């Protein structure tokens, strides 16, 4: 049985474009996979641990082959628990608004918390990193309001999709479906792009 985890990083609730598109995706997925488990992790719900000095020290300790203790051990256990939530799903859906050309900081926080040696990645001094999340599929809903491909630098640059796509690839999740909604500013017609994004989400959800 498949388990789909929707990781949502917009704090805008019912006003959120990315969440609405993700809901269309999930509805289509549930319709096709009636026995699948579907869960949502709203990253703003307060359950994502901080990644501060003890967590960074714990990461470096583990990377160096040392077992963390004290506050570092507690931070390491919190990172393991957050990772376990993600790792329990074989299907991951991310809703990702563009924030200041990149991703919302709460999603970067998730990446910093769970990207740990022995959990998300392995490392070999000669061969470099190896992703440990083999066998998972991901779908990503990307939204922005000003940036769009081909609009030119005055409309911003894209460090959202290249960064997040690269993180997925780095974890070894290479089966990735992306849905973008970047409303057309020239015509001020957001509805056409919105409808297309929902249609793409419906199609992708059916076969996910």
Ligand X SMILES: Cc1cc2nc3c(=O)[nH]c(=O)nc-3n(C[C@H](O)[C@H](O)[C@H](O)COP(=O)(O)O)c2cc1C
User: Closest distance between ligand X and the C-beta of residue 199, in Å?
Assistant: 17
Is residue 185 at the binding interface for ligand X, with CB under 6 A as the rule? Answer: no
Nearer to ligand X, 19 or 55 (CB): 19
Closest distance of CB 110 from ligand X, Å: 16
Tokens 């999603």, located at residue:
107
For the chain, give the number of residues.
208
Q: Does 10 bind ligand X (CB under 6 A)?
A: yes
CB of 31 to ligand X, least distance (A): 23
| Half-sphere exposure of residue 114: CA atoms within 13 angstroms, side-chain side | 21
- Residue 197 as a binder of ligand X (CB under 6 A): the answer is no
Q: Interface with ligand X includes 66 (CB under 6 A)? A: no
Sign, Cα dihedral of 150, 151, 156, 160:
negative
Q: In the bound complex, which residue of the shown chain has the CB atom lying closest to ligand X? A: 97
Contact indicator for 56, 78 with CB cutoff of 8 Å? no
Nearer to ligand X among residue 19 and residue 120 (C-beta):
19
Beta bridge partner(s), residue 184: 189
| Residue 176 near residue 168, CB atoms below 8 Å | yes
The residue among 187 and 207 lying less far from ligand X, judged by its C-beta, is 187
List the beta bridge partners of residue 39.
5
What is the closest distance, in whole angstroms, from the C-beta atom of residue 105 to ligand X in the complex? Answer: 9
Does 16 bind ligand X (CB under 6 A)? Our answer is: yes
Residue 98 engages ligand X in binding (rule: CB under 6 A): yes
Minimum distance from CB of 181 to ligand X (Å)?
A: 7
Query: E-strand spans in 13-157?
Result: 37-42, 91-97, 121-124, 128-131, 137-143
Do 4 and 39 meet the contact criterion of CB atoms below 8 Å apart? yes
Question: 179's torsion region: left (phi>0), alpha (psi -120 to 50) or beta?
Answer: beta
Scanning 82-90, 114-122, 144-152, 190-198 for contacts with ligand X by CB under 6 A, the matching segment is: 144-152
Binding site for ligand X (CB under 6 A): 10, 12, 16-19, 97-101, 143-147, 156
């Amino acid at each position: 049985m498949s388990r789909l985890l929707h990781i949502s990083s917009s704090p805008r609730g019912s006003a959120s474009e990315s969440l609405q598109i993700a809901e269309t995706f999930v509805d289509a997925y549930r319709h096709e996979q009636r026995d699948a488990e579907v869960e949502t992790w709203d990253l703003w719900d307060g359950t994502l641990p901080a990644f501060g000095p003890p967590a960074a020290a714990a990461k470096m300790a583990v990377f160096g082959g040392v077992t963390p203790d004290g506050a570092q051990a507690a931070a390491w256990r919190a990172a393991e628990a957050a990772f376990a939530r993600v790792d329990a799903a074989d299907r991951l859906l991310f809703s990702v608004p563009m924030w200041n050309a990149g991703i919302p900081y709460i999603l970067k926080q998730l990446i910093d918390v769970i990207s740990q040696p022995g959990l998300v990645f392995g490392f070999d001094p000669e061969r470099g990193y190896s992703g440990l999340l083999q066998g998972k599929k991901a779908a990503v809903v990307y939204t922005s309001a000003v940036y769009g491909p081909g609009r030119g630098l005055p409309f911003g640059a894209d460090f959202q999709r290249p960064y997040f796509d690269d993180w997925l690839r780095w974890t070894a999740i290479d089966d990735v479906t992306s849905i973008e909604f970047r409303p057309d500013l020239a015509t001020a017609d957001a509805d056409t792009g919105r409808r297309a994004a929902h249609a793409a989400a419906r199609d992708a959800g059916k076969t996910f």
